Structure 1
Amino acid sequence: MRILIVEDNVSLADELTADLKRAGYAVDWLADGRDAAYQGATEPYDLVVLDLGLPGKSGLDVLREWRAARVQHPVLILTARDHWAERIEGLKAGADDYLTKPFHPEELQLRIQALLRRAHGQVNQAQLSAAGLQLDEAQQQVIKNGESFQLTAAEFSLLRYLMLNAGKIISKTQLHDHLYDGESERDSNVIEVHINHLRAKLGKAAIETRRGQGYRLVEPNA
């Protein structure tokens, strides 16, 4: 999953980027509201972590522009603890959740997980589940029929995206757009290698190849 962090505090942005990358997310970072307004509307982000006090253009104005342009990716706003009015205005403008500074990195990750599940129709699930699989995001492992399989970072990121989109055909272009940040080189052969590694762990039938279209995570015996 690809996340955009919009935060002008460099030390906080560096910390958030490192934490989220360890959690298997592709992360882009911007510090200016004007850049965020454009990039957030043109790149296929799965979620945005948005500070409201930004140079160039306020986070609130950025969010309003996105929603007016029908940009629907989930937005989690960051606010100072005593700025309750900002939180209210952010939610009115279309934010999906908020977190007050300072915060614990684990709380941010849990909120992000919940927002991503909600965005993909898994509203009432405490853990990502699809196609007979349960994903332990904290340990980066998958459980199938009671058996746990440890995943590499790349396998984990790929499987999480397929599970959030279970039943849908996902093209290689989509996988590149959502699994890599804007600075990473993208090699279509690498995706196929990781797909084959997942099949070795989960069974060949777990992930279907649609020639010329992409891949689909399928229900058992579907």
Structure 2
Amino acid sequence: MTVSIVRFGGSNCDRDAERALEHLGIDAEIVWHEDGLPADTTGIVLPGGFSYGDYLRAGAMAARSPIMAEVREAAADGTPVLGVCNGAQIGCESGLTEGAFTTNESARFQCERVFLRVERADTPWTDAYDEGEVIEVPIAHGEGRYEIDDDRLAELEDENRVLFRYCDESGETGSDVNPNGSKHNVAGVLGDRDTVAVLMPHPERATLPDVGPTDGQGILRGFESVADGV
């Protein structure tokens, strides 16, 4: 399999994603958005960064790149798609998932390690964890607050499409462990299919054992899970 990592103007986590995937033995290739998806693409990463300087809204410009039509088509066909940080913003802006990510409640850029509670363990992205398990993954964002209207959030929760929530080390949620003010402590959500996910924390920065915790490895192994038919 070959995971295509889509690079936009302003992306800066594409090489991090490539290195993390290759550390896990997953073939990965950085693809310039104007060149389109390679024919051998079997997975897609929308990486973090500041695409187009977050002009208008974070992710809004990149979401209108022609390659995103290809990404949506691939996602509809079952190709696994993972949006991380700016990639999560792009995913929401392009309609891959519900909701939007906006300015942190603190109005500050926040870079720190956070704890996430796994809300579902039956998806490719969480197959390595148990439901309710707590993992540690870093964040680095200024516009990471997940927003969605209350009725639609209730529907997402009823549909079991919330993937991760911010929590403390014991798994408890609340405003005191919510780093950006996201509704209901939401840190990651699924698209219409569980092969599509967006999340604000950076699993690729919690993958290499030489630089810190490796709890993010299981999320990236979702590409393998889809290939294996999980």
TM over 0.5: no
Q: Which has the higher contact order (CA 8 A, sep 6+)?
A: 2
Higher strand residue share: 2
Higher helix residue share: 1
TM-score (norm 2): 0.38
TM-score (norm 1): 0.39
